[in-house]
Amino acid sequence: MWRFIGFRMLQAIPVLLVVITVTFFLIRLAPGGPFDSEKAVIPEVQAALEAQYRLNLTLFQQYASYLGDLSHGNLGPSFKYPGRSVNELIAAGFPVTAELAFYALLVALVIGGIAGVVASLKPNSVQDYIPMSVAMIGICMPSLLLGPILILIFGIYLDWLPVSGWNDSPGDKILPAVTLGSAYAAYIARLSRAGMLEVMSQDYIRTARAKGLPEWQVISRHALRGGMIPVIAFLGPAFAGLLSGSFVVETIFQIPGLGRFYVQAAFNRDYTMILGSTIFLATLIVFFNLLSDIVAAWMNPRLRDKLRAP
Amino acid sequence: MTAPTISDLAQTEQGTSLWQDAWLRLRRNRLALIGLIILILFIFIAAATPWIAPYGYAQQNLELGASPPSAAHWLGTDIFGRDLLTQIMFGGRISLAVGFIATAVALLIGITWGAVAGYMGGRLDAAMMRLVDIIYALPFMIFIILLMVIFGRNMLLLFLAIGAVEWLTMARIMRSQVQSLRQQEFVEAAVSLGLPTVTIIRRHLIPNALGPIIVYTTLTVPSVMLLEAFLSFLGLGVQPPETSWGLLISYGAESMEEYPWLLFFPGLALTLTLFSLNFLGDGLRDALDVRSAKD
């Protein structure tokens, strides 16, 4: 097990190096500098600015010094908001995005998990078809459409819930979390249904039934652990999807999170901000993929052997 | 009635090829069939839009402004008095084109990559698949935004950028197919005939791996279209004067309180297409995948 974890962690290092390097040089390919403005700038000011952002160095020196800063966790100053560092912007936006992603995941796991398990208990019955049809709708209805529709119904027509903001009024987190989580709830419903169906036909479930356990205990104590493995394996990629999905949801609901900062930075051509948050998000995603692989391996010893370092 | 002879049986067996068999199974799946019909209809409409659109693409009627669905404008008009049906038809051209062209790019890269890696094996295979693993761990959406920022927001780049991140699963599927195929006798025969590697891959391996590729292609198109809609919604994808369903939805969302039809109809078009593709993909998977076939 430890060998497996160590091997997967070593694998993550080249991934991150590639992300950092590719992003760094791609950004340098972008047309126009951050200080190309209509107004003429005094040469000394220009020079000072370039020195501050290290633009006076050669490309390779810039890269080396960026890597050096990065090893201390320093992502440098923002191009667009002088005086603010990329670290500060991320620190301001990320907790909001993380909270949103957490609630969305909670919605997805609870609704999706229950729907999937319920459907799997009586396959090919009404109890199966209804949750699975709803799941299909969830998959096909993109958040950029679901969000506005939910706002229209619950925010405007019924006037039950606030339609924008974050921590401004009670209940303003419900619609964003449901919007972001619904597609994942649908996937989780399908995965947990398939996983449970496979597990329920196995010998150890028959054994559990044979020793006279009530059905709910068979499910909760024996079947769930095996049946949820596909869901756990899905959580890593799902987290990556939640982060990028939050770009749209934060835009719809005007939530001041990292996703919105990122999109704004893309419009403003705030290159250091884009670079810094790309690296930050990529690191997170790599970390969560790693985590979900490890948890999946921990839950299923057979998988552990299959994934063992070659 | 006499009992069937062996030659009779052989003839019936000959009667249905793998593809006919798959078609028969697909036809029995009503949802997949409906998906296929809707899809063909939408593609036909998209292709014929310049001739059959009820109004001109840029035709405005500022006096009319936003109006709900009526006899003259079946799906209503937007705030500039432009016919919404016309807008959706032209937007659909772009949305569908992005979906299919970007998927084609992904197919081309993925199939070639996977086939070469799977057939050559050894160190080349290990190196190629490790690269796939690395790219797999990257945040796609972020990278596409990055590319759009750096190279400007043009359509060709959108196709290439989406295609360039969607080929990975295709490569993995192709590789595992080729790995199992190349053990078989007909490939050995081709090798012993002295055929060049490129010919073996192109003529013998790829055609035999078509089933899973077709299924996965059908499921890639909707995810590509969704990506395009995401980007356009954020203002980072398709740019005016061009339009797409994602862009129309984002306009519709801005004024949905007063003019809900501007959100509803483009959303319906996108959702219907995604539904059709997903149902068709699921149906094809059942029809083509020999492992899950019941008969």
pLDDT higher than 50, residue B1? no
Range of the domain at A204: 86-308
Q: Is any Cβ of chain B less than 8 angstroms from the Cβ of A106?
A: no
Residue at A237 is within a domain: yes
In contact, A16 and A286? CB cutoff 8 Å: yes
Residue at A221 is within a domain: yes
Question: In this predicted structure, what is the pLDDT of residue B211?
Answer: 78
> Which site among A244, A283, A286, A288 would you substitute to test the B interface, given the most B Cβ atoms closer than 10 Å to its Cβ?
A244
Which residue do the tokens 């969704």 mark?
Answer: B226
Q: What are phi and psi of B83, to 5 degrees?
A: -70, 125
Nearest chain B alpha carbon to A240? B139
Interface contact flag, B139 A152, Cβ < 8 Å: no
- Other C-beta atoms closer than 10 Å to the C-beta of A196 total 25
Question: In this predicted structure, what is the pLDDT of residue B42?
Answer: 92
Closest CB to A144: pick one of B134, B246, B260: B246
State the Cα–Cα distance between residues A173 and A184, nearest whole angstrom.
17
What's the pLDDT tens digit per position in B143-200? Answer: 777 777 777 767 777 777 788 778 888 888 888 888 888 788 888 888 888 888 888 8
Interface contact flag, B149 A285, Cβ < 8 Å: no
State the Cα–Cα distance between residues B128 and B171, nearest whole angstrom.
10
B81-111 residues labelled b (16+ CB within 10 A) or e (exposed): bbbbbbbbbbbbbbbbebbbbbbebbbebbb
Residue at A266 is within a domain: yes
Query: pLDDT per position in chain A (310 positions), as tens?
Result: 677 778 777 877 877 888 888 888 877 776 655 555 555 667 777 777 677 666 667 777 788 878 877 777 777 777 777 677 888 888 888 889 988 999 999 989 998 888 888 888 887 778 888 888 888 787 778 888 888 888 888 888 887 887 777 777 777 888 899 889 988 888 888 888 888 888 888 888 888 888 888 888 888 888 887 788 778 778 777 887 788 788 888 888 888 888 888 888 877 777 788 888 888 888 888 888 778 777 777 776 665 555 544 3
Number of structural domains, chain A?
1
ipTM of the complex: 0.75
What's the pLDDT tens digit per position in B233-262? Answer: 888 888 878 888 888 998 888 888 888 888
Shortest distance, CA B254 to any CA of chain A (angstroms): 9
Closest CB to B270: pick one of A142, A243, A278: A142
Residue at A45 is within a domain: no
Residue at A222 is within a domain: yes
**What pTM was estimated for this model as a whole?**
0.79
Q: What CATH number is given to the structural domain containing A275?
A: 1.10.3720.10
Q: Is any Cβ of chain A less than 8 angstroms from the Cβ of B35?
A: no
Question: In this predicted structure, what is the pLDDT of residue A261?
Answer: 85
Interface contact flag, B137 A15, Cβ < 8 Å: yes
Interface contact flag, B229 A142, Cβ < 8 Å: yes
Interface contact flag, A27 B150, Cβ < 8 Å: yes
Closest CA to A107 of A36, A187, A164: A187
Q: Is any Cβ of chain A less than 8 angstroms from the Cβ of B126?
A: no
Going by the DSSP 8-state scheme, the letter that residue B67 receives in this structure is: B
Nearest chain B alpha carbon to A251? B234
Instruction: Report, as an integer, the average pLDDT of B120-149.
Output: 77
Per-residue pLDDT band at B290 (split at 50, 70, 90): very low
pLDDT higher than 90, residue B21? no
pLDDT higher than 80, residue B96? yes
Question: In this predicted structure, what is the pLDDT of residue B44?
Answer: 92
* Helices and strands per DSSP (H, E), number in chain B: 13, 0
State the Cα–Cα distance between residues B145 and B152, nearest whole angstrom.
10
Q: Is any Cβ of chain A less than 8 angstroms from the Cβ of B95?
A: no
Residue at A213 is within a domain: yes
Average pLDDT, chain B: 80
Q: What are phi and psi of B107, to 5 degrees?
A: -60, -50
* Window B:141-200, CB contacts with A under 8 Å: 141-143, 145-152
Per-residue pLDDT band at B137 (split at 50, 70, 90): low
State the Cα–Cα distance between residues B74 and B89, nearest whole angstrom.
13
Question: In this predicted structure, what is the pLDDT of residue B153?
Answer: 67
Domains of chain B, start order? 38-44+80-294 (1.10.3720.10)
Handedness of CA B148, B149, B150, B152 (dihedral sign): positive
pLDDT higher than 60, residue B3? no
Closest CB to B139: pick one of A12, A139, A281: A281
